[in-house]
Amino acid sequence: MKVLKASVDWKCAYANHPGLRLLVDRIPGWEEMLFEEKENHYFAECEGFVKFFYYRNPGDGFGGRHFSIKMKNGEEKILIGPWSTNSGRMNTVGFTPSIEVAITDEPKVWERGHTFWAGAITLELAEKVLEEFLPEVKLYHTKWNDYYPMLKDGRMKPYQNVPLYCRTGDGICARCSLRKGAKDCAGNEPRGEEVPIPGREERDGNSNDKAGE
């Protein structure tokens, strides 16, 4: 799998973390993925592309779909309704560090900017991608042991045009971006009109207070 192009979906209109987008020459198929298991977590990597599941007993994940997988030791297993889990959990369990990405091997998808596949790649490959395609970007390691792109100058995003909910430990403060005209704690200039946060009156006790007070 060779990465042809890369960009960051900054999600500046949302409070979500940014994410990497990749155009690759091909995505390895199921028959190429050899899994290993730790503590009911299943992980496979091929050419930097990663697949993982959490599976303890037959369940309703993926609508109860059956997944036939091949283990590194040659054994074949059928997982019935496994759960997808996430890269942060797999990193914590002790597999090869990985990061979630939006990925496609179709140039038309890249051009229109949507309908990517949700996937994951190794952290090592992600760092090579940033070095080659996005030198102004680095990876931010959260306390949940997952990774997201951010700007090397310290900003989480180029700008943020909606209020951010408080995410303790992420270096993001909701209070300093609640009001129009206030910079957020990363120094980003405000964009657009204030967006009310539902339920804020009950939480704060006063809907007319100003950010920072």
Integer Cα distance of 198 and 13 in angstroms:
17
Contact 178, 194 (CB under 8 A): yes
Contact 193, 213 (CB under 8 A): no
The per-residue pLDDT for range 109-157, each reduced to its tens digit, is: 999 999 999 999 999 999 999 999 999 999 999 989 999 999 998 888 8
**Average pLDDT of the segment spanning 95-112:** 96
In the numeric block, the tokens 């889990």 are attached to 85
Instruction: Order the strands of the 49-54 sheet from edge to edge.
Output: 3-9, 19-24, 98-104, 117-122, 49-54, 41-46, 34-38, 66-71, 76-80
If phi > 0 it is left, if psi is from -120 to 50 it is alpha, else beta; for residue 152 that is alpha
Q: What is the pTM of this model?
A: 0.74
